[in-house]
Amino acid sequence: MLNIVVLAAGKGTRMHSALPKVLHTIGGQPMLAHVLQAARQLQPDRLIVVVGHDAERVQAEFDSADDVHFVLQHPQQGTGHAVQQAVPQLLDDGAAASKTLVLYGDVPLVQPQTMQALLDSSQEGMAILTEILSDPTGYGRIVRDAQGQIEAIVEHKDANAEQLQIQEVNTGILVAPTGALKDWLSRLRNDNAQQEYYLTDIVGFARHDQLPIYATHPHADWETIGVNSRLQQAQCERAWQLAQAHSLLESGVSLADPARFDLRGELHCGRDVFIDVGCIFEGEVHLGDGVHVGPHSYLRNARLEAGVRINPFTHIDGAQLQEQAQVGPFARLRPGTQLGQGVRIGNFVEVKNSRLDTDAQASHLSYLGDAHIGQRVNIGAGTITCNYDGAHKHLTIIEDDAFIGSDTQLVAPVTVGAGATIGAGTTLTRDAPAQALTLSRAAQETHTQWQRPTKKVTDTESSSE
């Protein structure tokens, strides 16, 4: 039987923010969300989150998580006191195999395989996740006896000169038999420099009860980065992003520079995908075989099929692109956009809730909203679908092989027939018939007696010259 307790009650004073610390994001998700996702992979029997500062706001963020049991710590009097609040929620069948794993909401990157290794190492005793640091300043030190067995964890502020030289440190993450943990928590005292109830003091109780204490290390150093400041948040973010980049590289994705890559959701890639520098991926993004994403592009909740090419500085949100489509540079595809095979969307073109069929193209400077655009349609520069009347959205239909001249306004609802041509500068307010030229232009006039206005020079301006 496995309980997992996540401590998430801290205020995060050094973050200098109104947002609770555990709701600050790494990789586009709250830190606490990372911890919960990893914890769930161990399939715990009980998942408990201890909240404190701005508890209602933290709970509201995860109100759809029906597997999480929230308990309140108020006031906050240390890590031991926090776990004490979870005791009534702990499941314990009395068996030696009943364990409780303690995690931290501000240590967001610990991986399931590291948690599992810690559980496996605990055997019939308790186990602590430790690290060897060249600079252990600020961390609790792992004190071992002459036989190398762990006998205590001493917090940095309480350590003597000899203990401060120890480089093996406590990450705070531990697992203990649930029955024994309940007993140890009841015996905690706060006679220390901080006047807090330290969870680490249970190590001394385990030694006294002759329960073995084991240690294991994380699979990667970045797993145990704790976040207490904006600087540490940035360091954690970069570590996470670099880990995601390395994973993609190992899977065959080509990244122009792993250090200039940001994943804030899920990215699924086929073979021979290339991603240039400065690209951001949010939500769920699928890139098919041979997709090329140009520099400084943003993709969110998008699906790009094989051979799609995204040119620099392109924004794609909620769009689907079929094979060999090309978009950008400086283009924007908004939710509901569907591009057929070979469609070309050029610079400064915005498309919203529209479908463009095979080989249609809008090369530059256009807005296409709420439109169905057929095969091989050419959209000239400066074309606008006037889809909104101030209260409702209306549909524009452009059938196959139509040609829309530059600087055209299509006032929806309106249909352009197959093979029709719309002359440049037209404002189309009625349906245009197929295979015909439709245009609307004011008669051109020339006024030979007209004179361009000139600026009137004042006396003050004359004297200054």
Q: How far is the C-alpha of 303 from the C-alpha of 211, rounded, in Å?
A: 54
CB atoms within 10 A of CB 37: 12
Phi and psi dihedrals of 291, rounded to 5? -70, 140
| Lookup: tokens for 197 | 């109830």
Q: How far is the C-alpha of 304 from the C-alpha of 286, rounded, in Å?
A: 6
- Quick check: 147 pLDDT over 60? yes
pLDDT at 418: 98
Segment 250-277, tens digit of pLDDT: 999 999 999 999 999 999 999 999 999 9
Query: pLDDT class for 19, splitting at 50, 70, 90?
Result: very high
Angle CA 350–297–109, to nearest 5: 130
> Annotated active-site positions, please?
364
- Quick check: 465 pLDDT over 70? no
- Quick check: 460 pLDDT over 80? no
pLDDT at 132: 94
CB atoms within 10 A of CB 386: 17
pLDDT, mean over the chain: 95
What is the pLDDT averaged over residues 388-403? Answer: 96
Topology of domain 230-438, CATH: UDP N-Acetylglucosamine Acyltransferase; domain 1 (2.160.10)
Phi and psi dihedrals of 361, rounded to 5? -150, 140
The pTM (predicted TM-score) of the whole model is 0.89
- Quick check: 459 pLDDT over 80? no
What is the pLDDT averaged over residues 90-116? Answer: 93
- Quick check: 104 pLDDT over 70? yes
Domain map (residue ranges) of the chain:
2-222, 230-438
With the CA atoms of 342, 345, 346 and 348 taken in that order, what torsion angle do they form, in degrees rounded to the nearest 10?
A: -170
- Quick check: 47 pLDDT over 90? yes
* 141, amino acid identity: R
Cβ partners under 8 Å of residue 402, min gap 6: 374, 377, 378, 416, 417, 418, 419, 420, 421, 422
- Quick check: 35 pLDDT over 60? yes
pLDDT at 443: 86
CATH superfamily of 2-222: Spore Coat Polysaccharide Biosynthesis Protein SpsA; Chain A (3.90.550.10)
> Which bin fits 169, alpha (ψ -120 to 50), beta or left (φ > 0)?
beta
Query: pLDDT class for 464, splitting at 50, 70, 90?
Result: low
What is the pLDDT averaged over residues 310-317? Answer: 98
With the CA atoms of 430, 433, 435 and 440 taken in that order, what torsion angle do they form, in degrees rounded to the nearest 10?
A: -30
| Lookup: tokens for 380 | 């000239």
pLDDT at 458: 73
Segment 291-305, tens digit of pLDDT: 999 999 999 999 999
Query: pLDDT class for 95, splitting at 50, 70, 90?
Result: confident
